[in-house]
Structure 1
Amino acid sequence: MNHLPFSRHRRLRRSASMRALVRENFLRLEDLIYPLFILEGEKKREEVRSMPGVFRLSIDQLKAEMDELVQLGIKSVLLFGVPDEKDECGTQAYHDYGIVQVATRFIKENYPDVVIIADTCLCEYTDHGHCGLIENSDVVNDASLELLVKTAVSQAEAGADIIAPSNMMDGFVAAIRAGLDEAGFENIPIMSYAVKYASAFYGPFRDAADSTPQFGDRKTYQMDPANRLEAMREAESDVDEGADFLIVKPGMPYLDIVRDVKNNFNLPVVIYNVSGEYSMVKAAAQNDWIDEERIVMEMLTGMKRAGADLIITYHAKDAARWLKEQ
C-alpha cells in the first residue's frame, strides 16, 4: 500500500448532499435584477433581434411582464426607456412624462414591493447617441452633469427606489447626490456604474435601446479594457462622492475587477452580465452546442464567487425558474 502523505480532497465531493454541505457560494433569487426596455405607444411587444427572449414593451404590455417577474420571485428591475422623439440634449430623459417616468409610476402603483432602479443616462434619448451634450464633436463633461441631475430628480419624483447613473462623466455621483439631496430625496440611494469599460459586448443592447452613437465612439469617457488600476481610481471617486452601490460592467471578462472592487470597498458590488454575454449563450444554446441551464448557472455562480452581491442579467427569468426547480 502507498503510504505517501497527500490530502484526500475528494472526501468532500462524494455525494450531492456532501457537496451541498460544503458549498461556499450561493445564487439567490434576491440577487437577480432584470432589465426592462420600455417603448412609447400601445400594443408593442418587440423581440430584440440580437437578444432572443428579450422584448421591448409598451406600457400596456408591462403588466403581463411584471406579473411573470413577480410570480418568479424576481424583486428588482432596471428600467431603460426607448422614446419616440430624440433631440440633441435628450429632453425625454428628464421630462415628467418621459417613458421611464411613466413606467415607474405604473410599476410603483401596481407592484409596490418591487424595487425600481432607473438607469440614468442620456444615450437612449439623444439624436447623436452619446451620453452627454456635444460641443465641437466632443462630449462635454460639466454641462452634461446638469442634465443628468435633472434626469435623476425626475426619476426619483416618479417613484424610482434607486438611481443608477451609467454615463461615466467625471463627478456624476457628486452632482447627482447633491441634486437629489437638494430636491428632498436624500434617502434615495445611488447605484453607480462606477467601473464601465468601453466594451464590444454592448452591441445587442444598442439594438434594444436604439442607442448606437451616430459618430465616433465612447472611448473618451468609458474605460480602456486593458486597465485595472484605473478601475480602482474610478470606484474610489464614486465612493468618496456618495455612491451606495458599485457596478462593474461588463461581467464575465472582468471578474478580476469585481474581486478587486469587493476587496477594496465596503459597499454592495453589482455586476452587469451584459447583452453580448447573454446573446452568445443564447446563440450557442439555440444551436444545441451547450447545455444552457448549466452554462448560465455556472456563469452566475462564478460572478457571485468573484465577489458580486447582485447581478443584473437578462438571464434572470430563466435563472429564477431553474432555482425554483432545485
Structure 2
Amino acid sequence: MLNPGEPRPRRLRKNTAVRDLVRETAIASADLIQPLFVIDGNGAPEDISSMPGQQRLNTDDLCREGKILHELGIRAVALFPSLKSDLKSEDGAEALNPETLVLRAVRALKAAVPELQILTDIALDPYTTHGHDGVLTTDGSDVDNDRTVEILSQMAVLNAEAGADFVAPSDMMDGRVGAIRVALDLAGLSSCGIVAYAAKFNSAYYGPFRDAVGSSKAAGTTLLSKATYQLDPANARQAERELFLDESEGADILMVKPAGPYLDIIRMTREGTTLPVAAYQVSGEYAQIHAAANAGWLDLKRCRDESLLSIKRAGADLILTYFAKSWASEQNS
C-alpha cells in the first residue's frame, strides 16, 4: 500500500482520454515516405514475394498509385527502378541514359501529381551486373570511390532535370554529397535538395530490397558484402563523422538506414543537427514483421504502429517505410 501523497504515475494512464491528452509522440501521414518500385513496359503489377503487399509497377500504375498516396496525405515517394538484365553492365552506364526508366517515371509522375515530392535513388546497384553501388577498381577488388562519385554527380543532374525534387545518394562514397551539390548548382538546379543516406550500415536487413530491384540476381546472391563502403554496425562514432561530413557538404536532410536496429544513431543525429532527420525502415524490417504476423506470432497492425512510433520517438522527422500506404489508409478510413 502506497502512503498518502506518494506518486501514482498510473493516473496518467487510467483511460483513453487521459492517455490521448498526454501522448508525447504522434505520427502524421505527411511524416511518411512510400518507397515505390518501377518496371518498364505495360505489364500487370508484379508481386514481390519477400515483401507482402509491395509490387513493381509500370509507369501508368505508378502514376495511379502516386495519386492515391497523395490523396491519403502522403506527400513524398522514393523511386527505385527494377531494370531488365540486358540493361545492366559492369559500369552501370544505363544510369546516365537520358531516357532510362527512372527518368521517364519521374517525368510521368510529376506530370500526373505535381504536388507529390519525388525522391530518386542515386547509386549504381540497380544498374550494375555485380550489384555494387559503384564501378569497380581495375582489379575488381573494390568500388572505385572517385570514379563512382563522378558518375553519381552526372546521374543526380539527370534526375533533377527530369523533375526529381530531391536526389538521395545511397552509395556511401566519400565526398559524394559535396560533389553532387556542386554539380546541381552549376547546372542551374539549386532548388533540388539532397537527402543524404548519411549513416547507411552494412546491414543484413536489405535482402528483400535487393530482390525487388534485381541487384541480388545480378550479383548472384542477396548476401553481397558492401563492407568497404557501408558502415560497420558496431561503429557509432564513425556514423557520427559520416553524418556531419554530409551536413558540411550541403545535405538538406540526413538519413539513417536501417531504422529499427539503429534507434541510438537516430537519437544521436537528432541531438547533433538542426537539419531534418530521416530514417529508412528497410525491407527486412518490414518483411520480418509480416512473417511473424503471418505465422500468428505477432499482431501486424500493433507491431507496425509500435515500430513506426519508436522511430519517430527516437528523433526521426521523416520515415521511409513500406507501411506508409497501409498506415495512412487506416487513418483515413
TM-score, scaled to structure 2: 0.94
Ranges in structure 2 where 5+ consecutive residues have no aligned partner: none
Name the residue aligned to 1:272.
Answer: 280
Task: Tell whether 2:239 aligns with 1:231.
Answer: yes
Name the residue aligned to 1:33.
Answer: 33
1:224 partner letter: D
1:250 partner letter: P
**Match of 2:319, SS?**
strand
| 1:306, distance to aligned residue in structure 2 (A) | 0.2
Name the residue aligned to 1:53.
Answer: 53
Q: Are the counterparts in 1 of residues 103 and 162 from structure 2 also a CA contact under 8 Å?
A: yes
Q: Are the counterparts in 1 of residues 63 and 113 from structure 2 also a CA contact under 8 Å?
A: no
How far, CA to CA, are the matches of 1:154 and 1:169 in structure 2? 19
Task: Tell whether 2:18 aligns with 1:14.
Answer: no
2:305 partner letter: M
Name the residue aligned to 1:286.
Answer: 294
Ranges in structure 1 where 5+ consecutive residues have no aligned partner: none
Q: Are the counterparts in 1 of residues 66 and 116 from structure 2 also a CA contact under 8 Å?
A: no
Compared with structure 1, are the counterparts of its residues 2 and 58 closer, same or farther at alpha carbon in structure 2 (3 Å cutoff)? closer
How far, CA to CA, are the matches of 1:57 and 1:171 in structure 2? 33
How far, CA to CA, are the matches of 1:256 and 1:322 in structure 2? 29
| 1:323, distance to aligned residue in structure 2 (A) | 2.4
1:51 partner letter: M
**Match of 1:256, SS?**
helix
Name the residue aligned to 1:113.
Answer: 115
How far, CA to CA, are the matches of 1:254 and 1:134 in structure 2? 29
1:297 partner letter: D
How far, CA to CA, are the matches of 1:66 and 1:151 in structure 2? 23
1:158 partner letter: A
How far, CA to CA, are the matches of 2:193 and 2:280 in structure 1? 18
1:1-326 alignment runs, 5 A limit: 2-3=2-3, 6-84=6-84, 85-135=87-137, 136-137=139-140, 138-212=142-216, 213=219, 217-325=225-333
How far, CA to CA, are the matches of 2:82 and 2:53 in structure 1? 18
How far, CA to CA, are the matches of 1:60 and 1:264 in structure 2? 42
Compared with structure 1, are the counterparts of its residues 239 and 2 closer, same or farther at alpha carbon in structure 2 (3 Å cutoff)? closer
How far, CA to CA, are the matches of 2:64 and 2:184 in structure 1? 32
How far, CA to CA, are the matches of 2:57 and 2:318 in structure 1? 24
List structure 1 segments (4+ residues) > 3 angstroms apart after TM superposition.
213-216
**Match of 2:57, SS?**
strand
**Match of 1:139, SS?**
coil
CA RMSD of aligned residues (A): 1.4
2:112 partner letter: N
| 1:46, distance to aligned residue in structure 2 (A) | 0.6
Deviation digits for residues 259-282 of structure 1, max 9, x if unmatched? 000001111000000000000111
Deviation digits for residues 164-198 of structure 1, max 9, x if unmatched? 00000000101100100110011211000000000
Q: Are the counterparts in 2 of residues 94 and 155 from structure 1 also a CA contact under 8 Å?
A: no
| 1:113, distance to aligned residue in structure 2 (A) | 0.5
Q: How many residues align?
A: 325
| 1:2, distance to aligned residue in structure 2 (A) | 5.0
1:238 partner letter: D
Of the structure 1 ranges 35-44 and 151-160, higher mean CA displacement relative to structure 2 is found in: 35-44
1:296 partner letter: R
1:300 partner letter: L
Q: Are the counterparts in 2 of residues 43 and 60 from structure 1 also a CA contact under 8 Å?
A: no
1:140 partner letter: D
1:98 partner letter: T
